[in-house]
Amino acid sequence: MKLMDLYQLVVKTGMSADPRGEKTVEKDLQKTRKRWEKLEEKKREFFDQESLSNPYSDTRILFGEPETEVSTLFTGIDIEMGEILLADRLREKGEKIDLVLSHHPEGYALAGLYEVMHIQEGIMAGLGVPINVAEGLLASRIPEVKRGFLPFNHNRTVDAARILGIPFMSAHTPADNLVTAFLIKYLAEKGPDTLDELIEVLKEIPEYRNAAKLKAGPTIVLGLGKRSVGKIFVDMTGGTSGSEDAFEKLAIAGVGTIVGMHMGEKHRKNAEKYHINVVIAGHMASDSLGMNLLLDRIEEKGVRIIPVAGLDRVARR
């Protein structure tokens, strides 16, 4: 398939699994288009026109011609200089690699990561937190994340891909949306009563079972194994960690347990303050699950997958 077709498939798949619902996503896109229409001509040069049809700023074609034919995909969780050089080395040895796909964003997709954090507002609203409160909680956190990325050398890996002539793309939130939707449905069907049971049902998923063997699997970081799970919040999408002040509102909304990829110590302590259990399913395992669900769609189109850089490839189709 062509690179542009692959890119559009990734975006469309992410939108179909967006926890806010496709109607809300489309409304956001319409708002973006209205901002574009009202924008002064001199400012349009700096507007990311991909945002007119793609609501995920962390998912972009970073280098490469849209008409490039892709039959072999080299893909991993983190693609940096070393992985780009590895892809080039494999091509020197005769391996046909048409595209490098990273889960975690690079280039301007990394610089714009903070923009997808608004997804968290919709997720909290769906859990029962008033939308105005959710927006207030993220109002200071989103600029904080934006400032945190300012010193980064965003384009380092993209430059390497460009110099070596290797098409390069990132797919972050679409994959995270898929793992979120998968786990919400899966855990609702399994219905674990205790944290110990929750850990066991997570380990029935191949990516988490494999990670557990490597000491990177599901772990209770807050709460005792015999404690009741209660209402589960699957915290797997929305760019990066949200506000440290959200836990009080989540507790009021009835959340009993958070199942996430990762959690900082300050966030964990605040969750403890409001008696919310926390299970860390595993970062690489969760990212692998989301990417695998996405890669299955791509593989259906006849694209061969070469997994690297922490991606535990498990095909479900």
Q: What is the mean pLDDT of residues 199-220?
A: 97
pLDDT tens digits, 141-197: 999 999 999 999 999 999 999 999 999 999 999 999 999 999 999 999 999 999 999
Contact 7, 108 (CB under 8 A): no
Alpha carbon of 168 to those of 16, 27, 97, 155, 162: distances in Å?
Answer: 24, 29, 11, 12, 8
Q: For position 241, what pLDDT does the model report?
A: 84
CA angle, residues 60, 314, 171, in degrees to nearest 5: 5
Tell me the C-alpha distance between 179 and 306, whole Å: 20
Q: For position 239, what pLDDT does the model report?
A: 79
Tell me the C-alpha distance between 254 and 248, whole Å: 10
List the domain boundaries for the chain: 3-173+286-307, 179-282
What superfamily does domain 179-282 belong to in CATH? NIF3 (NGG1p interacting factor 3)-like (3.40.1390.30)
Q: Please state at what angle helix 283-299 crosses helix 206-213, rounded to 10 degrees.
A: 140
Share of the chain above pLDDT 70, in %: 100
Whether the per-residue pLDDT at 215 is higher than 90: the answer is: yes
Whether the per-residue pLDDT at 113 is higher than 90: the answer is: yes
pLDDT band for position 70 (cuts 50, 70, 90)? very high
Tokens 């011609």 appear where?
65
- The pTM of the full predicted model, rounded to 2 decimals, is 0.94
Q: For position 238, what pLDDT does the model report?
A: 84
